[in-house]
Chains A and B, each alone.
Chain A
Amino acid sequence: MKQSRSQRALGRLLPTLVLIASAIFFAFPLLAMARFAFQNLQVIDLGWNNLFEKWSISSVTASFSDDFFAEAFTLSLKLAVGTALFTLGLLIPTAVWVHLRLPKARVFVEFLTILPYVIPAIALVAGIVVVKPHARWFLNSDYSLIPFYVVLALPFTYRSIDTGLRAIDLKVLVEASRSLGSTWIATLFRVVIPNLRAAIISSTFLTVAVVLGEYTISDVLLKRTFPSFMAQYRQSDPRGGYALAILALLGTTLLFVAIGVLSKSRSTRPQQVSRSQENEILV
């Protein structure tokens, strides 16, 4: 059974078409948004003839000078930092403990960390609204979002730290450190954490990406975070709203590219098993 050349060409045709169609589908919305955001023209006039006219970043600068921009953006940044620290403080000891003392609980803990998929943000916020009258002292504060953002990012962050721990010979490292007379705290900070650097950075970036993009909870609870500001700002100045969205996208893309580079540099280590790819998959 020999495939003829034309048959083979036909076999390559479909994948090529799929690749081209995908490139168009994924590029066009972004290009359209770029024109909406950065061309100083009425949306209704945008056409082929003025494709290169009046490009400017005035929409961005205008949105930056809005009174509420700085407030919303700093709130989101603070939330991102808080969520990242909370995540690391909670997950590193937990994951290390599971690896060292309770390996048989590994699957169970992993299962717990994907529960945020079962209870999506909109259902979680419904629960928060129920609890709110009983914990106003806590939930009235903007920073009360932090633990819930930790929950939302949990599937990504735990996986990233867990993958990092799998890549090192934790037991040997810890035993060596302990038998040389180091305390548990010193072992954690001077042996475990330096070895997890890449995993810590990528889980931090993931957290930041999640927090800067989270809209559901902050919208329902009427918190003035950056995404809420963006949605509101688009109502008054559409071009500025689109421009902010593009900046947000660029920021998130950079974070994810950095994560990709980090996980690749990790996978060149000899001990790394085939799980490196898995880091990118969400569930």
Chain B
Amino acid sequence: MAFTHTSPKKNEGVVATATTPSFFFVLRRVSAWSGLIPFFLFLILFLFIPAVSVFSQALHDADGSFGFSAMREAISGQNLDAFIFSLKFSAGSAFVGVIFGGLLAYAAATATRPHWLRNIVSSFSGVAANMGGLPLAFAFLSLLGRQGLGTKILNAFGWDLYAGDFKLGEVSGLITVYSYFNIPLMVLVTLPAIDGLKTSWREACANLGGSAWTYWRRVGLPILAPSLLGGFLLLFANSFSAYATARQLTDNSKIVPLRISFFLGGDISIGEDAVGYSLAAWMIILMAFSMAAYWLLRRRAERWSNS
């Protein structure tokens, strides 16, 4: 195929061997990067400057000098409770998403009948994975709110949902609601990986005397592991940073994004202001770690899906 000749690796080779490192070569390289100046300028203005300002505010002490007191305060007392609460429901809903999303992807990928099933599942996932925000919160309020229809149905079966400590704004409720976009997102992430599992591996395993259990424990799951783990991190980050849905479900200021907006909106003294920015700064740090790990795991996982 002629197409493969334009792959980036080949081009690089041509450029590197055809030119010697001369003045013109340097000029050429500089002018090549100059085409990205508008894009870089845009990112600096509208992404980096806001992000850096968050950190610069977070790293101010009450007297205006550089210091870590606000950053420390953002992870102590009530703020620490908020972080623990957010970590709990984000990890919980990521876990639920990985299990059920993985199962659903497997079910859709291996089902032979009806033939449109797989398409439906993957198209629906494409829509539902992006369905955060207000409509999702409204939908669950009408299903599992105090007057919700689901609550009534469960009541009819003798299960009073609100007898315990269930609330849409508490851990169990948030896990349920966030599963609505986490499960489909997981389906999108794992479908290619499951397609990468070759039937020949399964047959080889069976020929060597392995059972289905052996296959999954020794072959299938180890190969899927980077995708599953990467999916977990992606879902975790996705849940942790969600604002719109949580905002409609509850006023619970134990949810970190809601807490940040609470600090941003209120008329609070300068000292406490910095705590809000520090919360945002910690959040960026947490997101950076999970997305970096996700990025690495995705590279690892692509090894099997590219062949």
In the complex, B46 has a CB within 8 A of chain A: yes
In the complex, A266 has a CB within 8 A of chain B: no
- In the bound complex, how far is the Cα of B111 from the Cα of A128, in angstroms? 48
In the complex, A102 has a CB within 8 A of chain B: yes
In the complex, B35 has a CB within 8 A of chain A: yes
A105-146: contact bitstring with B at CB < 8 Å (1 yes, 0 no)? Answer: 110010110111111111111111111000000000000000
- In the bound complex, how far is the Cα of B192 from the Cα of A209, in angstroms? 25
Q: Is the beta-carbon distance between A151 and B47 smaller than 8 angstroms?
A: yes
Q: Which residues of A contact B56 (CB under 8 A)?
A: 130
Q: Is the beta-carbon distance between B38 and A277 smaller than 8 angstroms?
A: no
Which stretch from B64-72, B73-81, B217-225, B239-247 is at the chain A interface?
B239-247
Q: Is the beta-carbon distance between B134 and A280 smaller than 8 angstroms?
A: no
Q: Is the beta-carbon distance between A227 and B133 smaller than 8 angstroms?
A: yes
Q: Classify the interface of chain A: helix, strand, loop or mixed.
A: helix
Interface size on A, residues (CB 8 A): 96
- Across the interface, name the chain A residue whose C-beta is closest to B132: A213
- Distance in Å: Cβ of A48 to nearest Cβ of chain B: 9
- In the bound complex, how far is the Cα of B5 from the Cα of A222, in angstroms? 52
Pick the contact of A120 from B103, B143, B188, B241 — CB < 8 Å? B241
Q: Is the beta-carbon distance between B54 and A123 smaller than 8 angstroms?
A: yes
Interface residues in A79-112 by Cβ distance below 8 A to B read 90-91, 93-94, 97-98, 101-106, 109, 111-112
Q: Which residues of A contact B284 (CB under 8 A)?
A: 118-119, 123
- Across the interface, name the chain A residue whose C-beta is closest to B41: A90
Pick the contact of B142 from A33, A170, A172, A227 — CB < 8 Å? A33
Q: Is the beta-carbon distance between B148 and A147 smaller than 8 angstroms?
A: no
- Across the interface, name the chain B residue whose C-beta is closest to A281: B188
- Distance in Å: Cβ of A161 to nearest Cβ of chain B: 12
- Across the interface, name the chain A residue whose C-beta is closest to B137: A245
Range for the number of chain B residues in contact with chain A: 35 or more
Pick the contact of B135 from A98, A249, A283 — CB < 8 Å? A249
Pick the contact of B107 from A19, A169, A273 — CB < 8 Å? A19
Q: Which residues of B contact A151 (CB under 8 A)?
A: 43, 46-47
- Distance in Å: Cβ of A271 to nearest Cβ of chain B: 5
Q: Is the beta-carbon distance between B3 and A122 smaller than 8 angstroms?
A: no
In the complex, B42 has a CB within 8 A of chain A: yes
B128-168: contact bitstring with A at CB < 8 Å (1 yes, 0 no)? Answer: 11111111101110110001111010000000000000000
Q: Is the beta-carbon distance between B49 and A116 smaller than 8 angstroms?
A: no
Q: Is the beta-carbon distance between A129 and B264 smaller than 8 angstroms?
A: yes
Q: Is the beta-carbon distance between B134 and A227 smaller than 8 angstroms?
A: yes
Q: Is the beta-carbon distance between B6 and A116 smaller than 8 angstroms?
A: no
Which stretch from B17-25, B87-95, B286-294 is at the chain A interface?
B286-294
Q: Which residues of B contact A230 (CB under 8 A)?
A: 134
Interface residues in B12-53 by Cβ distance below 8 A to A read 12, 32-33, 35-36, 38-39, 42-43, 45-47, 49-53
Q: Is the beta-carbon distance between B3 and A282 smaller than 8 angstroms?
A: no
- In the bound complex, how far is the Cα of B261 from the Cα of A33, in angstroms? 27
- Distance in Å: Cβ of B33 to nearest Cβ of chain A: 7
- In the bound complex, how far is the Cα of B132 from the Cα of A103, in angstroms? 35
Q: Which residues of B contact A252 (CB under 8 A)?
A: 127, 130-131
In the complex, B108 has a CB within 8 A of chain A: yes
Q: Is the beta-carbon distance between B280 and A123 smaller than 8 angstroms?
A: yes
A40-62: contact bitstring with B at CB < 8 Å (1 yes, 0 no)? Answer: 00011011000000000000000
Pick the contact of B32 from A102, A124, A170, A259 — CB < 8 Å? A102
Q: Is the beta-carbon distance between A283 and B43 smaller than 8 angstroms?
A: no
A5-18: contact bitstring with B at CB < 8 Å (1 yes, 0 no)? Answer: 00000010011101
Q: Is the beta-carbon distance between B6 and A171 smaller than 8 angstroms?
A: yes
- Distance in Å: Cβ of A66 to nearest Cβ of chain B: 16
- In the bound complex, how far is the Cα of B33 from the Cα of A252, in angstroms? 37
- Distance in Å: Cβ of A272 to nearest Cβ of chain B: 9
* A116, A126, A150, A209 — most chain B CB neighbours (10 Å): A126
Interface residues in B109-140 by Cβ distance below 8 A to A read 110-111, 117, 121-136, 138-140
Q: Is the beta-carbon distance between B243 and A215 smaller than 8 angstroms?
A: yes
Q: Which residues of A contact B111 (CB under 8 A)?
A: 15, 19
- In the bound complex, how far is the Cα of B3 from the Cα of A170, in angstroms? 10
Other than the given A147-B46, A231-B247, 4 more pairs (CB < 8 A) read A29-B136, A102-B33, A127-B52, A147-B45
What are 19 A-B contacts defined by CB distance under 8 Å? A11-B212, A18-B107, A32-B143, A32-B148, A33-B139, A33-B142, A46-B152, A102-B35, A106-B8, A118-B288, A119-B50, A123-B241, A129-B264, A151-B46, A151-B47, A170-B6, A219-B243, A227-B244, A280-B122
**Top 3 nearest A-B pairs by Cβ distance?**
A127-B50, A15-B107, A120-B241
> Which residue numbers of B lie inside 8 Å of A, CB to CB?
1-3, 6, 8, 11-12, 32-33, 35-36, 38-39, 42-43, 45-47, 49-54, 56-57, 100, 103-104, 106-108, 110-111, 117, 121-136, 138-140, 142-143, 147-150, 152, 179-180, 183, 185, 188-189, 191-192, 206, 209, 211-212, 234, 237, 241, 243-244, 247-248, 257, 260-261, 264-265, 276-277, 280-281, 283-284, 287-288, 291, 294-295, 298, 306
